[in-house]
Chains A and B, each alone.
Chain A
């Protein structure tokens, strides 16, 4: 798809999601959805510098807060409509991104990351001591109840949600356009080898400055509506660690080399943390993200997209065939079921009495089995089919026990589907042409390099 067509499709999707949301009509959906979509923007923005160019930015919170405080400042001096604030925030954070880039881009690796962390500290100190925007006390931003958009009277949170959805569509479209352009090639050479890039005629400093400016501007735009959404901002939480950690973790878990990596990562992690906030507590979020990040660094260092790409590259070079697509689908199903079940069962375990503990523990083990089998399916190794078969087999046993204990309709339906998929997967895995697929071949590495 060409860039303008994709751009239109992305905007269309965003509007469609908004309309579906309005039809469902649940206010909490918008409130939680806003946070998820905000992270789509932050993760995509981070990935332009971190994923494409290989410069790990720990200062997401600084750019985000810059956008937020731009809004606070104008709210107090001269209230402006949100789209205008978005543009101003983009300008301010883009300029700060450019400046930071100019000062820090001769540093590489960990040194650059530390410099971006320092930026966050400096800006936070600045805001804490700036009384006009509330200092360390914070600032209240009273938002209107509703706003008129094209003749419709729209609830303000829904309005912010729509803006964030559109912004996410723009961010994703920008990331995809860059990836397929000359700029994308240039960014990739910077990630791979800057000396060789320069020798090939790539103006590395200029490209890095473009990346920091663009990335910073998008992060600032993500922050601009935030004071209106939350109603009260103060430095400690606006500059908070979760923004930096999440916007790094999401692309890493999704996959950094392609535009839908951060998209998948941010939706998955965003929804997961919102669920954990409701079912367990908001404090457990970072723990969850941290655990996932560690798990992914060990098991799938190139993220979900990287894992699947590597599987497909070996399993069916050229066009993906039915066999490998089926395996990817089963593994994807298993991964999502497993991941969400961990959260639900963890919540149940923490909340329930002794009788409920058995069910929750069984559920946790079940979730782990699903995760193991989906990992097995996606790793081309001699032992993989056996590993997946054993894990699926155990999961069937446990699911039957689980259904036996908790015979509510929802549970029976959920694990009934689970058992059916597991039986299907075991049958599929025993077939010769699938077994052959997991035999390592000559000339191809058995595991990721």
Chain B
């Protein structure tokens, strides 16, 4: 079976700095992939290139057998490739519920060719709020949310696009022990419903608990890819994280 997402020889530079250097990455349907790497190793750039926020200079991204090159970000979201941002970027002039309505109206509805009724939109919106535990905040504005709820909103908005593949970019930075567990549980639940998930994270406990497979980026190169327990014992990975 061909993979759901396939990146081949992905490269991106910023001026003289090589952010991504020929990354090959396959993600199978239904998989839970962890992606780790030190700061500045190119994780977020990789997400940006996969999702069309940045254009990759070399290589290709294939999603469900379709080459994505040159496709703008919104088209990729509509195809089923959604992401959350590392720093939450809510729509500040809208309530939490309205924030979730945007992907419902623009990604899900477009996919269904305008067959989503307002009642269905509201229903899905409430379902999502319940799923992430934001029901009480539905009519609050993002500026009144706590940091945890803001991150939940960021994740929920990505989930609202009903993606086949969800990329969660450091959804848990700065959260407490139990909050991290909540979000990991949420992502696992989502995965069990059939969504493929890529988790980018620094919190090793979360990554190890979540991932079925682990890939490691260092200085724009993928240095390891495999079963989590084996990957973290890889001498090269240890060197990258702990120094020599």
Residue numbers of A with Cβ under 8 A of B are 182, 185-186, 188-189, 191-193, 195-205, 257, 443, 449
Contact = CB atoms under 8 A, between A and B. Distances in A.
B241 interface: no
Contacts of A443: 144
A302 to B, nearest CB: 10
A198 B107 contact: no
Interface residues of B, number: 33
Interface stretch (B15-23, B93-101, B184-192): B93-101
A201 B103 contact: yes
Contacts of B74: 197-204
A200 B107 contact: yes
Given A185-B102, A185-B105, A449-B143, A198 B53 contact: yes
B170 to A, nearest CB: 15
Given A198-B72, A201-B74, A204-B74, A192 B94 contact: yes
B82 interface: yes
A201 B89 contact: no
A48 B143 CA distance: 25
**Which of A196, A201, A257 has the most C-beta atoms of chain B within 10 angstroms of its own C-beta?**
A201
Given A198-B77, A443-B144, A185 B72 contact: no
Given A188-B94, A192-B92, A199-B53, 12 more contacts: A182-B106, A182-B109, A186-B106, A193-B92, A197-B74, A199-B73, A199-B158, A200-B160, A200-B161, A202-B74, A203-B72, A203-B74
Q: Which 5 A-B pairs have the closest CB atoms?
A: A201-B107, A198-B73, A201-B106, A196-B89, A192-B91
A196 B91 contact: yes
Contacts of A197: 74, 91, 102
A185 B143 contact: no
B198 to A, nearest CB: 14
B91 A199 contact: no
Nearest to A202: B106
A422 to B, nearest CB: 35
A210 to B, nearest CB: 14
Interface of B: 51-53, 72-75, 77-78, 82-83, 85, 89-94, 98, 101-103, 105-107, 109-110, 143-144, 157-158, 160-161
B143 A199 contact: no
Contact of A200 (B92, B102, B143, B144): B102
B101 to A, nearest CB: 7
A107 to B, nearest CB: 18
Interface SS, B side? helix
19 contacts: A185-B101, A188-B91, A189-B94, A193-B91, A195-B53, A195-B73, A195-B85, A195-B89, A196-B91, A196-B157, A197-B74, A197-B91, A198-B73, A200-B74, A200-B161, A201-B77, A201-B103, A203-B75, A203-B106
Nearest to A257: B93
A188 B141 CA distance: 14
Contacts of A204: 74
**Which of B90, B105, B109, B161 has the most C-beta atoms of chain A within 10 angstroms of its own C-beta?**
B105
Contacts of A201: 74, 77-78, 102-103, 106-107, 110, 161
Contacts of B51: 199
A449 B78 CA distance: 34
B29 to A, nearest CB: 21
A197 B53 CA distance: 11
Contacts of A449: 143
A205 B75 CA distance: 12
Contacts of B109: 182
Contacts of B110: 201
B83 A199 contact: yes
B93 A191 contact: yes
Contacts of A182: 105-106, 109
A185 B144 CA distance: 20
A186 B104 CA distance: 11
Contacts of B90: 192-193, 196
A449 B109 CA distance: 34
A443 B160 CA distance: 28
**Which of A182, A189, A200, A257 has the most C-beta atoms of chain B within 10 angstroms of its own C-beta?**
A200
Nearest to A190: B91
**Which of B82, B101, B103 has the most C-beta atoms of chain A within 10 angstroms of its own C-beta?**
B103
B93 A192 contact: yes
A193 B89 contact: yes
B93 A200 contact: no
A278 to B, nearest CB: 39
Contacts of A195: 53, 73, 85, 89
Nearest to B154: A196
B98 A185 contact: yes
A199 B85 contact: yes
Nearest to B107: A201
